[in-house]
Amino acid sequence: MTRTRAHRRTLRHTAPAALAATALALTGCSVAGGASDDASTGAAGGTVTLVTHDSFALSDGLLEQFEADTGLTVQQVAPGDGGALVNQLILTKDAPLGDVVYGIDTTFASRAIDEGVLAPYTSSAPAAADAAAYAPDDSGSLTAVDVGDVCLNVDHAWFTAQGVPEPTTLEDLTQPQYRDLTVVTNAATSSPGLAFLLATVGAFGEDGWQQYWTDLTANGLKVAEGWSDAYYTDFSGGGGGGSRPIALSYASSPPETVPEGGDEPTTGALLGTCFRQVEYAGVLAGAQNPEGAQQLLDWLLSDEVQADIPGSMYMYPVSSAVDLPEEWARWAPQAEQPIEVPLADIAEHRDEWVRDWTDLVIG
């Protein structure tokens, strides 16, 4: 992984709690062409303001081409990661931060909808039919743009060298032969950490997930504050010389471990441990430029943007019309049956689960 890729992935995996303190300090910035005093006027050739999480990134030239094609100028406001993003949308819903939002994910979708920060819009883009499969409800308020599977990753070389069979299930991690081998990230401070907590809730139920974490902790679990520390420092397969061959990451991580001159990755994802995150876009209620917002949302579902998402944001596109990078198609399959938790349950219990997890695991 290059330094740029590592930096972007680290940003993606930073949780709401870690960024909330800086959310209010962030101001709008022009993505291309410079901010204007009459931003979001809704006039033809005017400005459309895109509100995103702070790891939004696309290849050079894509956004400029959208502006050239539409006559719009795109201004970006980035108030933090997924949770900070939704919090700011709620706090500013009477005077919206912009016109369209990208980056509301599975864990906060219900909250955004329930708080009324979004306006219904049904995209006419060809990929909208694929996106509909990930719709959080029937309100038409959020349109799926990309998806990612949070999964445990294993270091094949370590297990081969030690003569230990690789784990395949969540339950395996609590067995004595896997003692002191696993590192995950903090559910209160990292996005994948929260997703993995939800995976255990989905797998073991309200009455069983706490006992699972008790057993996992007793078996020598290590909790890192963020994804970068867990993957690059503690994980033996992350290139940093770590000692733990089981780490929480993404199903898209293994292709990045193909060594120079090699033809297969040195790590693999345990697809039976995955929780699927979906990232959505939506037109903001009270938008100054709703037509521009709709154009921008449609563009996020275009073939050009959808094909760019794996390389720029390390997520899977929702469109079935674009090809994945060759290494993704070969080494980064999505989970066929990801672990699920109803969005309504996440909305109702998310904060409670995080508090309970923190008391139980961190103390």
Least confidently predicted of 80-94, 167-181, 244-258, 311-325: 80-94
What does the pLDDT read at residue 35?
Answer: 34
Angstrom distance (rounded) from CA 316 to CA 145: 9
Each residue of 115-151: pLDDT tens digit?
A: 999 999 999 999 999 999 999 999 999 999 999 999 9
pLDDT number for residue 84: 81
66: Cα separation from own chain's centroid: 24
pLDDT at 13: 52
Q: What is the DSSP letter of 97?
A: S
Task: Quickly state the pLDDT bin for 36 (edges 50, 70, 90).
Answer: very low
* Torsional sign, CA 185, 188, 192, 198: positive
Q: What is the pLDDT of residue 21?
A: 35
pLDDT at 334: 93
In the chain, the domains with their CATH numbers are 3-147+276-330 (3.40.190.10), 148-275+334-362 (3.40.190.10)
Average pLDDT for 163-182: 98
Q: Model's pTM, two decimal places?
A: 0.81
- How many Cα atoms within 13 Å fall on the side-chain side of residue 172? 15
| pLDDT at 346 > cutoff 80 | yes
Q: What percent of the chain has pLDDT over 70?
A: 88
